[in-house]
Amino acid sequence: MEAADYLSGQTILLDKPLTWSSFQTVNKLKYALKRKDVLLKNIKVGHAGTLDPLASGLLIVCVGKNTKKISEYQGLPKEYTGTIRLGATTPSYDLETAIHQTFPTNHLTEALVQDVIPQFLGEIMQKPPIFSAIKKEGKRLYEHARNQEEVEISARPVTIHAFEITAFRLPEIDFRIVCSKGTYIRSIAHDLGEALKCGGYLTALRRTKIGDFSVEDAWQITDLEQYL
């Protein structure tokens, strides 16, 4: 494609690498476009839904006039796969922070886990993790957390369309979740652990779909750089 094609608007699917931020991934694409053609030096580029550095998977990137579609894409349901470790908790609900509490898991069975899954289906009220970018009193929640400040976090409605256990190997379980915009999979891991009275936290996460867009159709960033 020529510079004019990108300026007129393109939607690009990227497979965000593990440990990269969404911002870093988008910037890699921006720099590649700038190197391709001087006309693309100031082109608008944005993504439709942040992925944490500890997550990999589908990132929808809008270029040129297609940046007007970002909010449309953000509203689409999302599919994730990943792993929850039961028997312990972390303050961030994932591997960003160290384990701070452990609990016995000898009461757990696959049947018990399956019995509590329906609690997380449909529209539910969910509290975001304290280690998140949501603003409270003018600061990000993670800033309050790092300063060890107590803040009240309000629960918000989210919709879980599907929650499937795909592998059961204690203390870990693999899952597939389809959910609405604004859902924190880390909170589901934590809340599932509470429901099972054993604690839980997220150890792996991959976004596989956004609406009808699939990570199977996404570019690896290095391949896209070479193509450009």
Positions marked catalytic: 52
- Both structure tokens of 211: 């609406």
The pairs formed by 21-25 with CB atoms below 8 angstroms and a separation of 24 or more are 21/53, 22/47, 22/50, 22/51, 22/59, 25/59, 25/61, 25/221
Report the alpha-carbon distance of residue 197 to residue 30 in Å, rounded: 46
Q: 3-class SS at 151?
A: coil
Other C-beta atoms within 10 Å of 178: how many? 17
